[in-house]
Structure 1
């Protein structure tokens, strides 16, 4: 058993439900954390003044700590071998001075070795007919763990979390050649976008149930598609049948998704923009202090730059354009300014000339988003707001835009006075290089043939052995087995769905319902073709 409040415990709790499985077995869940590392790549230009060379440059940079997180799961049938079935790669960012955390879901992949499910869902009782798959339940459980701020339970001043997901369909992300497995279901671009919307919607539902006072806002956009054009890919859910009270459709409907980006959205009810990592909820302005440059709502302070993200590559290209030979600026002719600072000022000036709406519109014309496959961009913001602040009157439009917020330079709030240091490393966390090498060697190499049954067994065994060796280096030899199992991995037993609860089949055997972890495909219109009558 894992420690209370740990990610491993959250994954274990996500599987404490009845799944429509056609076989019994066990799931081994592994959670790997990299140690927190200070980085400057998330908001590299947020603290740079575009024209004032005498403004503070280094001391005002927001402190950011990154953790590399890997969640994997393997399935062992009751009379079979253990095979990897699922892996999720994430990057967790903590901004202590801003009271914010970010979760970026980098990659998710499966191998096709997940347990077989009952194909005819109509035979299941109504309360189990819309049960998610194991992969879907694990994914929602992981997202809920971070969105509910459970990861920052020892840092009570972290009051805001942003979840970022980029849904981009690929045959394989983490398991090479796994797309060749006959049982792996590779989703199309539209199906993947709907799948992620359903997973995030379930997490939003859980957060709202457990933390009803939190402010939750959900945004999604498909670059290159208008809101109306996106409906064939992600249909609107207007009504549900009586048999779908707890289905993924109900979660999607109740999540109240907003089509568009969250960076300049204004809530008509509160006349305020949603909270973002560097821009808290307007009611929290009095609690924080900051410089004028970082408070400005612009591209440099709104859009975080993640690894292997189209938005980040676009921002880097805009910054590179500031150093072109034909570019002229008063900043480029400054004397007595270090070259590194002058280049940073040029890049900040170039980004300030691009509005957030122009940036998001241009993103739809880039090759990554218009090469034939649709890409879904999801942002979910969860903020804890003091009840005293929630009852305050809405701020003015000038304050809402971040021009002149009412910042209190001498906050008296206990959370603001708390020492905001670096996050503590998770138990048995690994050095970043060790974690990356472990994943590269035992999962990502092209030599890893995950589509082969025999090799999948061997690769899974090697991965678990490498994980145990890595955990052994972090603990003493005498306590390794107990301590490693407590913090790194656990085993969950899953039983076959009871046959006595199945209803008699009333449909043709060739007709099967859509899998719970795969959103239903949109309707396909077929044009009738008139054949020419033969003479």
Structure 2
């Protein structure tokens, strides 16, 4: 069943109170091979990655300019070997310049529910995980938006409570689908807090009683010791040694990833582990083809005929010890409350008329096959770089120009127009077509600077990834993608990427503190400025005693 993500998100916004018009841009990249989700697993599972970017702008009246209010960045990981998928919410942010109430909460809930529901999930996976790291900060996607007076991010505790409430509502929506899931398990942990301390910290905005009665009960801790929902990474059955790399996934800009990387390359004496000396390859004149075939079949985990053990302390540290030591990490003891949230679920197997589970079909579509409406990962990368480095949202005027620039860049990339590079022209987001040479022209003029490819993109210069990291060769995907990158056109733009919807509903009766968040799933709140009711208590004066 093919579901249009853009239309689903727009439909969810029609119930918001007030009168305004929403404009949305949804960019979902085509699947590509990814080797960094479980970099220390032996063997490393084959994984496919998709980037997801949602940009929402609004205008109070048709004559008013558009202004971005919400952005969501997420990643979808597909692990076919275990029929599992992970939806990682990387960042959520707001500009603080939208009308009340903020559309962020309903937008996040709808996005998570759509991917978690097997009927609308765009990939085939029996076991599905939603994971995020919540850390309150002033801004993450909208540069300098923390300087705008209308943006008031939630505090660390309120941010964690916000995410717990949102994920509870997602779990309740999934449970209301009927007999679809065999189990739904939510987990959360606040490093440095025990269960009672964490519950008391989040009690103001904790899970409502109705959620508990419906069977949504939060487990305090991590999901890596449970057996009800299979973990995404398959177990290593070839060795008796436990490998922590099979439990902890590695995400970009996530403290778990940095910690497990340190564990992998740290010895007992806190020294960097020396690289393992491998046998040098030599050319063979006779039987080179057969030798090449043997080397190709040889496991990457074997060195000189021996199986390579887990790196560093990965074979010694258990998941329980890992999370206990996470409480002492800098990201978790910097004076602010942080939270790790996981929502796992397993779908019930669909049985045929004979009551048996159908076998996997050999003619099933490849997980690398692009779907209608998907774009190249380079387009997502370009827009994200523009959002982070080329525009800012410190004032309303700058936010309007930034909105025009980003929305124009998305449309321009679909039309085959290259956006201006940083520092070229002005900051209004104008776009230029590549100059077309005119044959036979007698005009003598300085040739235009070439505007094509990566040369004019907004990406800042950076060092290419190393071939060797911590003494070990970096494993890359050498096999090419059998499917070409999708070619984006205006038809794709109008049918899947851009859409708008007008909302005209009765407004809220009162303005209360608006929901929001900050990093990690991480949105920034816009707090209402309504007049609170104040009760003045009169002071009873004590009568003096007569002399």
Counterpart pick for 1:91 among 31, 56, 75: 75
In structure 2, the CA distance between the partners of 1:335 and 1:298, relative to structure 1 (3 Å rule), is same
Cα distance in 2 for partners of 1:491, 1:376 equals: 34
In structure 2, the CA distance between the partners of 1:457 and 1:327, relative to structure 1 (3 Å rule), is closer
Counterpart pick for 1:433 among 365, 373, 378: 378
Please say if residues 263 and 356 of structure 1, whose CA atoms lie closer than 8 Å, have aligned partners that are also in contact. Answer: yes
Please say if residues 238 and 253 of structure 1, whose CA atoms lie closer than 8 Å, have aligned partners that are also in contact. Answer: no
The C-alpha deviation readout for 1:35-78, integer Å capped at 9, x for no partner, is 21111111122224xxxxxxxxxxxx321011111011001111
Cα distance in 2 for partners of 1:150, 1:6 equals: 13
Match of 1:373 in 2: 336
Give 1:16 deviation, angstroms.
3.1
Give 1:433 deviation, angstroms.
2.9
Counterpart pick for 1:261 among 222, 243, 256: 222
Match of 1:529 in 2: none
Please say if residues 75 and 113 of structure 1, whose CA atoms lie closer than 8 Å, have aligned partners that are also in contact. Answer: no
In structure 2, the CA distance between the partners of 1:364 and 1:41, relative to structure 1 (3 Å rule), is same
Match of 1:455 in 2: 398
Please say if residues 320 and 347 of structure 1, whose CA atoms lie closer than 8 Å, have aligned partners that are also in contact. Answer: no
Please say if residues 47 and 293 of structure 1, whose CA atoms lie closer than 8 Å, have aligned partners that are also in contact. Answer: no
Give 1:345 deviation, angstroms.
3.0
1:495 counterpart = 2:504: yes
Please say if residues 294 and 301 of structure 1, whose CA atoms lie closer than 8 Å, have aligned partners that are also in contact. Answer: no
Please say if residues 428 and 471 of structure 1, whose CA atoms lie closer than 8 Å, have aligned partners that are also in contact. Answer: no
Give 1:488 deviation, angstroms.
0.4
Match of 1:148 in 2: 117
Please say if residues 374 and 486 of structure 2, whose CA atoms lie closer than 8 Å, have aligned partners that are also in contact. Answer: no
Superposed, 1:155-304 pairs within 5 Å as 155-156=123-124, 158-214=125-181, 215-235=183-203, 250-251=210-211, 254=214, 255-265=216-226, 272-278=227-233, 292-293=237-238, 298-304=243-249
Cα distance in 2 for partners of 1:138, 1:260 equals: 27
In structure 2, the CA distance between the partners of 1:239 and 1:185, relative to structure 1 (3 Å rule), is closer
Counterpart pick for 1:313 among 258, 282, 285: 258
Counterpart pick for 2:49 among 57, 66, 76: 66
Match of 1:472 in 2: 415
Give 1:427 deviation, angstroms.
2.8
Give 1:172 deviation, angstroms.
0.2
In structure 2, the CA distance between the partners of 1:321 and 1:76, relative to structure 1 (3 Å rule), is same
Cα distance in 1 for partners of 2:204, 2:241 equals: 35
Give 1:451 deviation, angstroms.
2.1
Q: Residue 415 of structure 1 aligns to a residue in which SS?
A: coil
Q: Residue 113 of structure 1 aligns to a residue in which SS?
A: coil
Q: Residue 253 of structure 2 aligns to a residue in which SS?
A: coil
Q: Residue 197 of structure 2 aligns to a residue in which SS?
A: coil
Please say if residues 14 and 502 of structure 2, whose CA atoms lie closer than 8 Å, have aligned partners that are also in contact. Answer: no
Unaligned runs of 5+ in 1: 49-60, 118-132, 241-248, 266-271, 280-289, 389-410, 506-511, 522-535
Match of 1:80 in 2: 64
Please say if residues 34 and 68 of structure 1, whose CA atoms lie closer than 8 Å, have aligned partners that are also in contact. Answer: yes
Counterpart pick for 1:14 among 12, 15, 20: 12
The C-alpha deviation readout for 1:473-520, integer Å capped at 9, x for no partner, is 49989xx44431211021011114269xx5xx8xxxxxx64335589x
Cα distance in 1 for partners of 2:497, 2:48 equals: 21
Question: TM (normalized to structure 1)?
Answer: 0.71
Counterpart pick for 2:349 among 382, 386, 393: 386
Give 1:195 deviation, angstroms.
0.8
Cα distance in 2 for partners of 1:374, 1:149 equals: 34
Cα distance in 2 for partners of 1:276, 1:380 equals: 12
Match of 1:515 in 2: 514
The C-alpha deviation readout for 1:5-32, integer Å capped at 9, x for no partner, is 1221321232132x233xx211111111
Cα distance in 1 for partners of 2:496, 2:299 equals: 47
Give 1:134 deviation, angstroms.
1.2
Question: TM (normalized to structure 2)?
Answer: 0.70
Counterpart pick for 1:359 among 319, 322, 328: 322
Cα distance in 1 for partners of 2:27, 2:206 equals: 40
In structure 2, the CA distance between the partners of 1:498 and 1:44, relative to structure 1 (3 Å rule), is closer
Q: CA RMSD in A?
A: 3.7
Match of 1:46 in 2: 41
Match of 1:107 in 2: 91
Q: Which has the larger radius of gyration?
A: 2
Give 1:291 deviation, angstroms.
5.9
The C-alpha deviation readout for 1:207-243, integer Å capped at 9, x for no partner, is 1112533021100000111111112321188996xxx
The C-alpha deviation readout for 1:90-142, integer Å capped at 9, x for no partner, is 1111112221111111111000122134xxxxxxxxxxxxxxx4110001011
Structure 1, 428-437 or 34-43: larger mean CA deviation: 428-437
In structure 2, the CA distance between the partners of 1:326 and 1:488, relative to structure 1 (3 Å rule), is closer
Aligned residues: 427
Cα distance in 2 for partners of 1:253, 1:177 equals: 43
